[in-house]
Structure 1
Amino acid sequence: MRLTKNNNNKWYLLFFSLLAIGYSMLWYHSWYLPLNFAVIDNTASWFLPAGYRMAAFLFAPRKYWMAIIIGEWTAIRLITIERGEIDLVSELIATTIPAIVYLGCAHLYLRNYKTPSLKTTERSIALLVTCVAAATLTSAILNTSMIYHGELSTITENELFTHKHLQMVMAFAFGDVIGVLLILPSILLVTDFVETYQHRQTQIAYTHFLPLLWIIMVTIAITLAIQSIPLIYIKLLCVTLVIAGTHKFGWHGAVISILIMCIVIVYTSLISTESVSVIENQVYLITIAFTSLILGASITEQSVLNQKLKQQNTQLNQLNQVHQKDALKNQLLAARVVEIQELERKKIATELHDDIGQVLTALRTEVSILKRASSDQNVHRCAEYLRTLCDKIYNATRNLITLLHPRELDDLGLEKALKSKLLTQLLRNANINYQLHIKHALSNLSDDTKIAIYRIVQESFNNIVKHASARNVTVEIAIENDLISLSIQDDGVGFDVNKASIKHNQFGLITMEERALALKGNFQLHSSSEGTQIEIKLPIK
């Protein structure tokens, strides 16, 4: 265990040292690039070390932050040695304050968002505000210190907190911001590119490079003809390039376009004879960069949401297809159940008619013979009683046969079956008025449709008598657009159709709905205190 801990400490010290040395060398050499540009009055200056500083604190683990501070202190110390001795307090401020300020701003950002990112609008704005705050605070402290200690030849101590002092602070802060805009988004782009393609484990298609190649070709063309193009047109072309790249590729396109724009503007400023102030170019670059990064983040965020929406739509479509298949299976199953049910009812009705009917006929014949063969009055009374019982059994059996399978439907048709005494007797016994309105001929309907309509009407009459306390019932049947519509309405007390318990307790409603769905129809139930209405639409087969 102790050996493992020692090895870990050795690796930590090795990485710590390498990070400090590498960061110090990078910071030291990149410091001279803006220094060389600063001698030209109309250049758009940038300060690349600010970008390295912010990126280092955002990406490096906290245990290596001290290595970054040591590396920056070493680089600044070497630079101050080359430039000559400066005041001790000023040197302390220059070597420690910028790193501490950037560290604090990076810590606040990481505490809220964990990792740097330009993929969402919120995180992009937060990251840019963090960079501006760090750059502005650092610039204000350093400029005030340098002016106070007389290290700037262009401004004296008496000009502290004047317009000239503010302009100097703005120039330094804008330089830091541009440096951050050049370095930090580029690092985010590279890391996102590597992580994405490692995760997907796919090869990059050549079509991915075509838009980038087009942007590079436009940039080269602008650069070759840059001396003959006024600076204002160069800026307009750069804005167009940034907008096109951002619109097409989101924040990726914004980062690449900003990098190209900065290079073109700085190169143009170096060779141009036009007089343009440093702050003017800086404000132009920062404004375009901020706008494009936020717009790119918004476009990327919208693109991600669109992809998620497409995935959800695909899943919903798949679930819908499964649901449709299940619904079709259930529909076919319901149709088969209804078909088997009707066949069984017809079979039972036929057996009752043939078997019990024959027995009752034979019994009635035997009773008549017995009555004629005897003159005994007691025998006559018994024979008459048996005959009455036979008639009651016959009528009961006939009614049962009709309930199982209405022969009127086969013999007379649907319209007359709906007017038959056997169907309407239940309503008459309950003193309920019955009206039937048929607007079209029903002779062309299939047997399944006729049976379904008859059964639904029959079941609804049973429900009305049992539960509705109605005085009037109206049945309307019409054919329209290859659909037959059936409406059954009463003026009873009604009930709450939203209560599942009511519906499940009334098995007849479920049976009616299943019959409608079995024929690929539609079942609707409406009920209030003024009555109940059932509306059914069935396709005409």
Structure 2
Amino acid sequence: MNITRYINTTYLQMGLIYTGLFHSVWLFSTQFEIISGTVSWYLPAGVRLAAFLLLPLASWPLLLFSEKLTHFILFHPGGVLDNTAFLSGSVGWYLVHLFISPAVVCGCVYVFRRRFAAPYIDNVRSTLATLAFGVLISVALGAVFLGRRAIEVQTDLAAFLSILFDFSLGDFVGIIVLCPLLFALYTRQYINKNESTLFITVGTWLLTLVFSSYLYSQNINISYQIKYLAVFPALFLSYRYAVFGSALSCFFIGITAFVVASQSALPPIEHQFYILALCVSCLILGSSINQSSKLNKKLARNNEDLEIAVQNTQALAAKLVALQEDERKRLSRDLHDDFGHRIVDLKLQLSLIDTTKDHDILIDKIDALYQAMKKSLGGLRPSGIDTLPIESVIERSDIITTLKRAKINFSFNLSGTPINFKPEQKIHIYRIVQEAVTNSIKYANAKTLSIDISYESQSATFTVADDGAGIPDTIEGTVDAKPTLGLLSMKERAKLIDGTLDITSFTPSGTVVSLSIPTYNIQ
């Protein structure tokens, strides 16, 4: 076994600091009990629990050794304090103090640390668990210490339970006053920037306590008012500064209780429950605020990631649509320039030959081929899309031809002063109108249909309305709706030109598709 794992300079320093703080607050705690017996709390319990919860497991042997050695040095006969009341010579005392109580502390803390990690008070769950653990270890150590004494002096059960309650309550008060602040400081939960509000609040709180002590020296007792006025700064600090604020509040609540206890004759339990109730409230409030803040930050990060993903998706969609239209434009141009010229040339050559037996038939077939090619070109890229106004493109496009072929009673209405759209804007408008008309013919079984174009001062609106069967709920309009590829394409195209697409399905029948484009985007 490597002994340097447990005994080294770092752990020795930890042990010295721990035992120095432990016995300092122990001496301080004894002063509370001297003031008319009004306060009973054991601050070293808070130092001990914080040390074993925060420091490395390998440092525990030196912590225990330093604590026990210092205890013997202080209280042995002829020692610094020379108080045999804290150093019994019985075998039971040595057994409990040197073996059983350290085993209880180390065992309980080890189990707790396997489930929870520092700072222990940063969320509601860990805060409640830490408080419950503080109660448990206070009762466990009280049972060990007092059990030994009860066996030696044969104390009856009722008296033992009463003493155990007082002992455990005192330990838990010490834990709840000191542990949160030690947790916060050790894990660097403190404020990293200059917070004037924090200093003003704490300073005002301390000045109020000093003022209360001064008035008490002048036979004016306002301890009752001070006790309950302290609720406001305690809750404010917990709300404003979360973990650190609640930890600081617990510490100053303890100071407030000490000042109030020195000025009143209330029984100890009154002050103890005041400390516990207010400290628990502050710790839960502070951990709730801290937990909420972390969740909000996480949600904000997720929203940022989602926004980036949406932007990337939209950029990809825009790129795909642009590439698609560019490819259609290229194919349309190639077909027109190449095959169109070849067909015209073939027809010209045939016209020069009058002896061909099936001359007229071949001419008709070439004309049909040419018309089929023009139709294909119109599907790839509407004729005139680069030069004509969008309303003219729609009027002479396959959209109108398809409506006539489907024998649908349609109307085309134009109002306002037309606007000169860019070719890339016109192609998206055309595709949205084309998709809306196609859906009305293919799926809605519409009998009548209208295409309305309205130019106003602030916007241009393109509307396709029919009297068809409407859009099924499984496609549009419900929580679980799954839009088709056509509807998704319409919406994406509308976004690309900063337009707003509104699709309304009426009951019992009819659908209105409306595309509105702000005029500031039309140049």
Q: Place the TM-score, normalised by the shorter chain, in its bin.
A: 0.7 to 0.9
Q: 1:517 to 1:390 in 2, by over 3 A?
A: farther
Report SS of the residue matched to 2:34.
coil
Shift of 1:286: 1.7
Question: Which amino acid in structure 1 is aligned with residue 60 of structure 2?
Answer: W
Report SS of the residue matched to 2:157.
coil
1:439-490 deviation digits (Å, cap 9, x = unpaired):
446994768688878888889999999xx79987654312356221336898
Q: 1:33 to 1:512 in 2, by over 3 A?
A: closer
Question: Which amino acid in structure 2 is aligned with residue 386 of structure 1?
Answer: H
Aligned to 1:45: 40
> What is the CA–CA distance in structure 2 between the aligned matches of 1:286 and 1:423, rounded to whole Å?
81
Residue 275 of structure 2 is aligned to residue 264 of structure 1: no
Residue 476 of structure 2 is aligned to residue 484 of structure 1: no
Aligned to 2:134: 131
Shift of 1:284: 1.0
Residues 125-524 of structure 1 mapped to structure 2, 5 A cutoff: 125-150=128-153, 160-162=156-158, 165-193=160-188, 204-205=192-193, 207-226=194-213, 227=216, 228-270=220-262, 272=263, 274-337=264-327, 339-340=329-330, 351=341, 355=345, 358-359=348-349, 362-363=351-352, 367=354, 385-398=358-371, 400-401=373-374, 403-404=376-377, 417=396, 427=405, 433-440=407-414, 444=418, 475-479=449-453, 482-486=460-464
1:398-417 deviation digits (Å, cap 9, x = unpaired):
45445535889989956764
Which residue, out of 94, 99, 102, partners 2:102? 99
> What is the CA–CA distance in structure 1 between the aligned matches of 2:12 and 2:403, rounded to whole Å?
101
Residues 68-79 of structure 1 mapped to structure 2, 5 A cutoff: 68-78=63-73, 79=75
| Stretch of structure 1 that moved more, 436-445 or 104-113 | 436-445
Aligned to 1:83: 83
Question: Which amino acid in structure 2 is aligned with residue 479 of structure 1?
Answer: I
> What is the CA–CA distance in structure 1 between the aligned matches of 2:182 and 2:148, rounded to whole Å?
32
Aligned to 2:480: none
- Mapped contact 2:180–2:250 kept (Cα < 8 A): no
Report SS of the residue matched to 1:74.
helix
> What is the CA–CA distance in structure 2 between the aligned matches of 1:136 and 1:461, rounded to whole Å?
79
Bigger radius of gyration, 1 or 2? Answer: 1
Q: 1:311 to 1:22 in 2, by over 3 A?
A: closer
Shift of 1:124: 1.5
Shift of 1:387: 3.4
Residues 56-71 of structure 1 mapped to structure 2, 5 A cutoff: 56-71=51-66
Report SS of the residue matched to 1:250.
helix
Shift of 1:109: 0.6
Q: How many pairs were matched up?
A: 483
Residue 115 of structure 2 is aligned to residue 112 of structure 1: yes
> What is the CA–CA distance in structure 1 between the aligned matches of 2:164 and 2:294, rounded to whole Å?
39
Q: Which has the higher helix share?
A: 1
List runs of 5+ in structure 2 lacking aligned partners: 477-483
- Mapped contact 2:201–2:233 kept (Cα < 8 A): no
| Stretch of structure 1 that moved more, 297-306 or 404-413 | 404-413
Shift of 1:171: 2.3
Compute the TM-score of the two structures, normalised by the length of structure 2: 0.73
Compute the TM-score of the two structures, normalised by the length of structure 1: 0.71
- Mapped contact 2:29–2:41 kept (Cα < 8 A): yes
1:135-172 deviation digits (Å, cap 9, x = unpaired):
1222234334435545xxxxxx56x333x544432222
> What is the CA–CA distance in structure 2 between the aligned matches of 1:52 and 1:513, rounded to whole Å?
64
Shift of 1:93: 2.9
Q: 1:357 to 1:186 in 2, by over 3 A?
A: same
Q: 1:347 to 1:423 in 2, by over 3 A?
A: farther
> What is the CA–CA distance in structure 1 between the aligned matches of 2:443 and 2:97, rounded to whole Å?
96
> What is the CA–CA distance in structure 1 between the aligned matches of 2:185 and 2:301, rounded to whole Å?
27
> What is the CA–CA distance in structure 1 between the aligned matches of 2:83 and 2:247, rounded to whole Å?
35
Q: 1:182 to 1:97 in 2, by over 3 A?
A: farther
- Mapped contact 2:394–2:400 kept (Cα < 8 A): no
- Mapped contact 2:440–2:446 kept (Cα < 8 A): no
For the aligned residue pairs, the C-alpha RMSD in angstroms reads 4.9
Q: 1:441 to 1:354 in 2, by over 3 A?
A: farther
> What is the CA–CA distance in structure 2 between the aligned matches of 1:319 and 1:104, rounded to whole Å?
49
| Stretch of structure 1 that moved more, 516-525 or 109-118 | 516-525
Shift of 1:192: 1.9
Shift of 1:252: 0.4
Question: Which amino acid in structure 2 is aligned with residue 184 of structure 1?
Answer: C
| Stretch of structure 1 that moved more, 478-487 or 119-128 | 478-487
Q: 1:75 to 1:408 in 2, by over 3 A?
A: closer
Shift of 1:59: 2.8
Shift of 1:254: 0.9
| Stretch of structure 1 that moved more, 451-460 or 295-304 | 451-460
